[in-house]
Amino acid sequence: MECLSRVWRRLRYRRRRPRPPGKVNLEELARAISWLDEYRKFRCVDPALLEKAIDDSGVRKAKDVWKKIKTDVSKVAFVPMADKSLIKWMKVLPPMKHFAYLSVAALAAVLVAIHAGFKFVRDILLSYFWWLNLGVLLIIVIVFANVVLYADYYVRSRIRSMYKVYGSRYKRARARIKWAVQELINCLREQIKRRGVDPEEFKIRMLHADYKGIKVVKKPGYVSEYYRVVPLVEEDGGGGE
């Protein structure tokens, strides 16, 4: 599973083409904002990935902000990383989720196609997958999906307990991280305004919505605890290269 996790990370965070000097990548800046916001609740992506996203953004002020809070990020990241069991699950959970989504979607598509009477689907199943027992496969998919749900619940509950225990101890570091997120949002708004880009292109997933210069387009629900926000460019904001 650890090998699968490494493969998944390489696919998701694969090395991008070199950025031409002076060119900014606002998608990387938006990604950094989302990741850094999660640090306020000890949802810690690898600090190296966060630093790379900020560096790849090409926004000079964002890099300056990172230098000021790098130590605080390292302090907060140490809390969940000290729990080896939690780190293990955090590594394998993302690829497990993706595989579960794909399995459920594929099985649902096959069942719908069979129920709808698509003859070619039945022919393919009888010709190449005659050995496949859909009932057994359905049970396997359901069991695997429940394992993923349990693992997700375990990770979330462990992080919540850490927040209760260590939240006040790292109050200053989390406050500085909040300040840094606001500064990065200001940078993104300024760059969007300067380049005439549609802010709706940057729907950022965040655990908090207590920032200036953003608009909430989707609130947390039963499935997700994240906000979806877009930057506002009507107001004056800080930022720059």
Instruction: Please write the tens of the pLDDT for every residue from 124-156.
Output: 665 656 556 667 778 888 888 888 888 888 888
Report the share of the chain in percent with pLDDT over 90.
40
Q: Which residue has the higher pLDDT, 236 or 161?
A: 161
Task: Answer whether residue 157 is part of any domain.
Answer: yes
- Does a structural domain hold residue 67? yes
**Best CA proximity match to 174, nearest among 226, 225, 210, 220:** 210
Which of 29-38, 43-52, 92-101 has the highest mean predicted lDDT (pLDDT)? 29-38
Q: Tell me, yes or no, whether 19 lies in a domain.
A: no
Host domain of residue 235: 24-241
* Alpha-helix residue ranges (DSSP H) falling in the chain: 2-12, 26-38, 47-57, 60-81, 84-115, 119-128, 134-166, 171-195
Report, in angstroms and rounded to the nearest whole number, the Rg of the chain calculated over CA atoms: 21
Residue 127's pLDDT is 63
Q: Which two tokens stand for residue 139?
A: 């049970």
52-61, 107-116, 133-142: lowest mean pLDDT where?
107-116
> Does a structural domain hold residue 164?
yes
Where residue 121 falls among pLDDT bands split at 50, 70, 90? low
> Over 60: is that where the pLDDT of 5 sits?
no
Q: What is the mean pLDDT of residues 207-231?
A: 91
Say yes or no to pLDDT of 168 above 60: yes
7 in a structural domain: no
Q: In the numeric block, which tokens belong to residue 86?
A: 């939690």
CB count in 10 Å sphere of residue 173: 20
Mean pLDDT over residues 54-78, rounded? Answer: 93
Q: What is the total count of domains within the chain?
A: 1
18: pLDDT strictly greater than 60: no
60-74, 103-117, 188-202: least confidently modelled range: 103-117
Residue 10 lies in a domain: no
Q: Are 75 and 173 in contact (CB under 8 A)?
A: yes
